[in-house]
Every structure is written in structure tokens, then in C-alpha cells.
Amino acid sequence: GRVDFTIAFRRLGSFVSEGAPQTLATDARNAPLRDLFLDRAAFDAWALRYAQRLQSEGSIDAERAQRMGRVNPLYVLRNHLAETAIRRAQQGDDSEVQRLHRLLQNPFDVQAGCEADADFPPSWAQSIEVSCSS
């Protein structure tokens, strides 16, 4: 479904499975994950199966959220973040390189003021292309 894997797996950690399985896909608490998918019906069908599996395994939402948060980073070096740091560094300002270095030392931990670093790229960055030789 053309989903951003970093964001999706991070949000999957907060998936609520406790409750009536048939309503969990559309539960408002699961909306941040569900909203990533264009095909909502397919997501809803998958979420129902996932919730049933989690319940059958005796999974506890809070414990699963902690485990998934430890292995799914909130922050990754996205092209637009690197591009901004490179542009500033070329102008003699390495502050963005230093900021990203600090941010990425703890990619699994929520860091105040860094919400945009964990979000989708801004519209200006949609055209950035990176090749293996970049």
C-alpha cells in the first residue's frame, strides 16, 4: 500500500488489540496506523486477523508496545534531513549535521522538539532522488 515502513512499524507498536476484535480496525486508537493505508478495507481485514492473533497469543498491548519501540526507530536519516544538513554545511554551517548526529544517537527515544524529524518529508522534498553513487 505504499506505506512508509519506518512510520508504519513504529505506529504498529501502539496497535490496540484489547477489546472486541471486529471493531479494533476502526477503533480511534488505531487511526494513526490505519490512516497510513490507502486501501482501508484491506487494512481492516488484516487488523482483524492481527488482533485475533495477538489475543490468541495472550499479547499485552503495553508490553508489546515497549518491545516494538526498542527495535523500530522513531528517527532515521531521511533524504530531506540529510539534504538540509548538506546544504547548510556547504555554506559553512555544520549545526544541522551536529543536531542530526545527536538525534540519531538515540533513534528509538522520543526527543522533545524533534517531531518533524519523525514525520513524513515536507512537500519540497518529494522530488529528492538519491542514487547509490550519491
pLDDT digits (tens, 9 = 90+) for 22-60: 777 778 899 999 999 999 999 999 999 999 999 999 999
What is the per-residue pLDDT across 101-126, written as a single tens digit (0 to 9) for each?
Answer: 999 999 999 999 999 999 999 998 88
Answer for the pair 118, 77: CB distance below 8 angstroms, yes or no.
no
Is residue 12's pLDDT more than 70?
Answer: yes
**Torsion from C-alpha of 58, 63, 52, 45, nearest 10 degrees:** -170
Domain boundaries, the chain: 5-71, 79-127
Question: Which residues, other chains included, contact 118 with Cβ-Cβ below 8 Å and sequence gap of 6+?
Answer: 7, 10, 74, 75
Contact (Cβ atoms closer than 8 angstroms) between residue 37 and residue 43: yes
pTM for the whole thing? Answer: 0.85
Measured from the Cβ of residue 37, the count of other Cβ atoms closer than 10 Å reads 17
